[in-house]
Amino acid sequence: MTVYDIIIIGGGVIGCCIARTLSKYDLKVALLEKEADIASGTTKANSGVVHAGYASPREYVKRDMCIKGNKLYTQAAEELNFPFQRIGSFVVALEDSQIKKLEEERKLATQDGVPGLELILDKEKIKYMEPNLTDEAVGVLHAPSAGIVSPYEMTYALAENAAMNGVKFFRNQKVRRIKHQNYVFVIKTKTDEFKSNNVINAAGLYGLKISKMVGLDYFKLMPRKGEYILFDRNAMHLNKILFPTPTKVSKGILVCPTVSGNTFVGPNALNITDKKDIATTEAGLKEILEGGNKLVPNMPVRASIRNFAGLRAIPGTYDFIIDSTDVYGFINVVGILSPGLTSCYAIAERVVEFLELLGANTKIKEDYNPMRPKPERFKDFTKEELDRKIKEDPAWGRIICRCENIPEKEILNAIHAPVGATTVDGVKFRCRPGMGRCQGGFCRPRVIEILSRELNIPYEDVLKRGEDTNFLVAKTKEIALLRLKRGENE
Ligand SMILES: Cc1cc2nc3c(=O)[nH]c(=O)nc-3n(C[C@H](O)[C@H](O)[C@H](O)COP(=O)(O)OP(=O)(O)OC[C@H]3O[C@@H](n4cnc5c(N)ncnc54)[C@H](O)[C@@H]3O)c2cc1C
């Protein structure tokens, strides 16, 4: 059996970023993910903001990680070709008393290396930079280094590049037990056993459960829900990420564009106990609309196309837990609340420092390739390029998702990529069929058909996102026959 140098538990943005960073080195690395796909946890549903880094108090590790992490995005986006735009953010003061706070933040963050921060009090200039902003704004803190990213597309890119450089990905592998014997970790899942000299716990909300498996029970993690409303692409066009002036506990409800040209409002912050509760609530949606309306009056409610919620893993300390622990070779990377997405590249570098101290070989491999090719997109081709592509492969011309203009070829590429899609959601999040106005009403059956054909599985075995999420149970006439046999139709 292979004894890995490092096994990472958890395929969120943190686990995948660590995997990609470690794929540089001459190390045997594997990643275990409990779900059918990576990016299925907190990474799937968040604001997708690459924060500038002024928001956390100075004594927190997360402030330092965020400022460093933000800077590392430029190179990462060039190498990995994921959608990322440094559009800048506004923190909006609606009362004169908030201006002082914004100026204090500007000064401190500038000293800490956040570039280009500017307090703007000229209302005309503010309106010119963001015409949608409320007339009530008395000033804004402009952070030009803030940006927007697709969190899941970045995570897929990280995993693809890590896999191209030798990291093994195992999905549907929920870690159930870990034994530490003679400096080797033996990790048991439902179906398999894995061995490794080092383990990195990046299990998000379930980080404490994994930590306890090696006897480490020294932190707390609490789920905190954040709800969102997503608007259709034509609803409005924002230039900037809009935050209210933050409170002590939250950055507040923001109004923000996405890299796909949509806009969203959210999140709120609701402490809950159930780590699977991602339902939206009437009260929550009302709360976020009220919050959004303060920044952009008359939010386009009728153009909302989806509500969703994500869960933060909130540690008792409100700070990241990145520890080389008392169990030799076991590293906790947990409690990665916001700005974890922004900080992931800096967190991965910190993990490498720990592994070096543990004696891991961090010599860069001769054949390491940091580049991940940009996925080809129908929408990016000129008419001439498209004609040529369709001649080469007619799957470029077969449109499956009419809202988003996604041809069959993009779906095939998503399925056959390294660490490719195996579920309907996997396809949707990689290349967008089902993300548009009709939310999959038209394209879902076709996507099921393509997955069934390409993975060589019956229609009934095609899943939405994982175990027990089948869309289809049997053919219509078979169900009728089954019911007849059972006497249900009488
Ligand atoms: C509402 C909200 C808004 C946010 N907005 C931002 C933002 O704008 N900018 C920003 O920087 N950050 C933001 N964040 C924070 C950011 O989303 C997180 O820091 C980041 O996604 C955490 O990633 P992770 O890999 O630690 O966790 P996850 O994505 O949850 O990954 C953990 C993985 O571990 C797997 N796992 C768990 N148990 C096991 C097991 N037993 N065996 C195998 N695998 C297991 C899970 O299935 C999961 O895939 C936001 C978070 C939320 C919830």
How many other C-beta atoms are found inside a 10 Å radius of the C-beta of residue 104?
Answer: 11
For 243, the token pair is: 């935050």
Q: Which residues pair with 9 in a beta bridge?
A: 32, 201
- Do 214 and 227 belong together in one domain? no
Ligand 1 centroid to Cα of residue 402, in Å, is 31
Q: Does 401 lie in the same domain as 466?
A: yes
Amino acid making up residue 418: P
CB 214 within 8 A of CB 178: yes
Name which residue sits closest to atom 4 of ligand 1, judged by CA. Answer: 46
pLDDT value, residue 414: 98
Handedness of CA 142, 144, 150, 154 (dihedral sign): negative
Element containing residue 425 per DSSP (H, E)? helix 424-431
Distance 253 CA to ligand 1 centre (A): 19
Kindly report which listed range (177-191, 275-289, 461-475) carries the lowest average pLDDT score: 461-475
Residue 287 lies in a domain: yes
Residues 78 and 159 in one domain: yes
In this structure, what are the phi and psi dihedrals at residue 76, rounded to the nearest 5 degrees? -60, -45
Instruction: Compute the mean pLDDT over every residue in the chain, rounded to the nearest whole number.
Output: 95
Q: Are residues 241 and 304 in the same domain?
A: yes
214 and 324 belong to one structural domain: yes
**Can you give the CATH number for the domain in which 157 is found?**
3.50.50.60
Percent pLDDT > 90 in the chain is 91
CA of 310 to the centre of ligand 1 (A): 9
Task: Measure 291 CA to ligand 1 centroid, in angstroms.
Answer: 24
Does the pLDDT at position 345 exceed 80? yes
Q: What is the mean pLDDT of residues 317-336?
A: 97
Q: Confirm whether 304 is domain-assigned.
A: yes
* Residue 265 backbone dihedrals phi, psi, to 5 degrees: -125, 140
The model's confidence at residue 449, banded by pLDDT at 50, 70 and 90, is very high
Q: Are residues 183 and 69 part of one domain?
A: yes
Tell me, yes or no, whether 484 lies in a domain: no
Contacts of 346 (CB under 8 A, 6+ apart): 64, 65, 66, 68, 69, 72
Q: Residue 475: which pLDDT band, with cuts at 50, 70 and 90?
A: confident
Q: Which of 309, 340, 358 finishes a domain?
A: 309
Convert 261-294 to b/e letters by CB count within 10 Å (16 or more is b): ebbbbbbbbbeeeebeebebeeebbebbbebbbb
**Is 485 within the bounds of a domain?**
no
Residues with Cβ within 8 Å of residue 120, at least 6 apart in sequence: 126, 129, 139, 140, 141, 142
Predicted local confidence at residue 485, as pLDDT: 83
**CA of 69, closest atom in ligand 1:** 11
Q: Whose CA is nearest to atom 14 of ligand 1?
A: 338
Ligand 1 pocket residues where CB is under 6 Å: 9-15, 32-35, 40-43, 46-49, 51, 174-175, 202-206, 210, 226, 267, 310-312, 336-342
Total structural domains within the chain = 3
* 118 assigned to some structural domain: yes
Helices (H) and strands (E) in the chain, counts: 13, 22
Please check whether residues 258 and 399 belong to one and the same domain.
Answer: no
CATH number at residue 304: 3.30.9.10
* 146: helix, strand or coil: coil
Residues identified as active-site: 51
The confidence score (pLDDT) of residue 359 equals 93
- Residue 112: predicted pLDDT: 97
Q: Give per-residue pLDDT as tens, 354-377.
A: 999 999 999 999 999 999 999 999
CA atoms within 13 A on the CB side of 15: 36
The confidence score (pLDDT) of residue 249 equals 63
CA of 204 relative to ligand 1 center, distance in Å: 5
Residues 138 and 35 placed together within one structural domain of the fold:
no
pTM for the model: 0.96
CB 76 within 8 A of CB 367: no
- What are 12-60's pLDDT values in tens digits? 999 999 999 999 999 999 999 999 999 999 999 999 999 999 999 999 9
Q: Candidates 13, 31, 46, 249: which one to mutate for ligand 1, based on the most atoms within 8 Å of Cβ?
A: 46
- pLDDT tens per residue, range 79-131: 999 999 999 999 999 999 999 999 999 999 999 999 999 999 999 999 999 99
Instruction: Give the residue among 250, 264, 271 at the shortest CA–CA distance from 305.
Output: 264
**Residue 110: enclosing H or E segment and its boundaries?**
helix 96-111
% of the chain surpassing 70 pLDDT? 99
Question: What is residue 405's three-state secondary structure?
Answer: coil
Are 68 and 97 contained in the same domain? no
* Mean pLDDT, range 319-334, rounded to an integer: 97
- pLDDT bin (cut points 50, 70, 90) of residue 489 is low
* Sign (positive or negative) of CA dihedral 147, 152, 157, 158: positive
| Per-residue model confidence (pLDDT) at position 283 | 96
In this predicted structure, what is the pLDDT of residue 441? 85
Mean pLDDT of 287-296: 96
Kindly state whether residues 178 and 300 are assigned to the same domain.
no
Whether residue 267 has a cis bond before it, omega within 30° of 0: yes
Q: Is residue 419 part of a domain?
A: yes
Task: Specify the ligand 1 atom closest to the Cα of 32.
Answer: 43
**CA distance linking residue 486 with residue 483, whole number of Å:** 5
Residue 482 lies in a domain: no
List, for residues 30-43, the tens digit of each pLDDT value. 999 999 999 999 99
Instruction: Report, as an integer, the average pLDDT of 147-160.
Output: 98
Query: What pLDDT is stored for residue 437 in this prediction?
Result: 80
- Pairing mode, strands 241-244 and 89-93: parallel
In this prediction, residue 334 carries a pLDDT of: 98
* Residue 310 CB partners (closer than 8 Å, separation 6+): 42, 44, 45, 46, 225, 226, 228, 267, 278
With respect to residue 489, please indicate whether it lies within any of the assigned structural domains. Answer: no
C-alpha of 235 from chain center: 24
- The angle at the Cα of 245, spanning 239 to 249, to the nearest 5 degrees, equals 120
Which of 341, 344, 347 has most ligand 1 atoms within 8 Å of CB, for mutation? 341
Query: Domain containing 358: what range?
Result: 1-83+149-220+316-374
pLDDT tens for 211-221 read: 999 999 999 99
Residue 197: its H or E element: strand 193-201
Judgement on whether residues 25 and 134 belong to the same structural domain of the protein: no
CA dihedral sign, ordered 120, 122, 125, 128: positive
One domain, residues 198 and 305: no
Kindly report the length of the chain.
Answer: 490
How many other C-beta atoms lie within 10 A of the C-beta of residue 153?
Answer: 23
Q: What is the pLDDT of residues 386-434, one digit of tens each?
A: 999 999 999 999 999 999 999 999 999 999 999 999 999 999 999 999 9
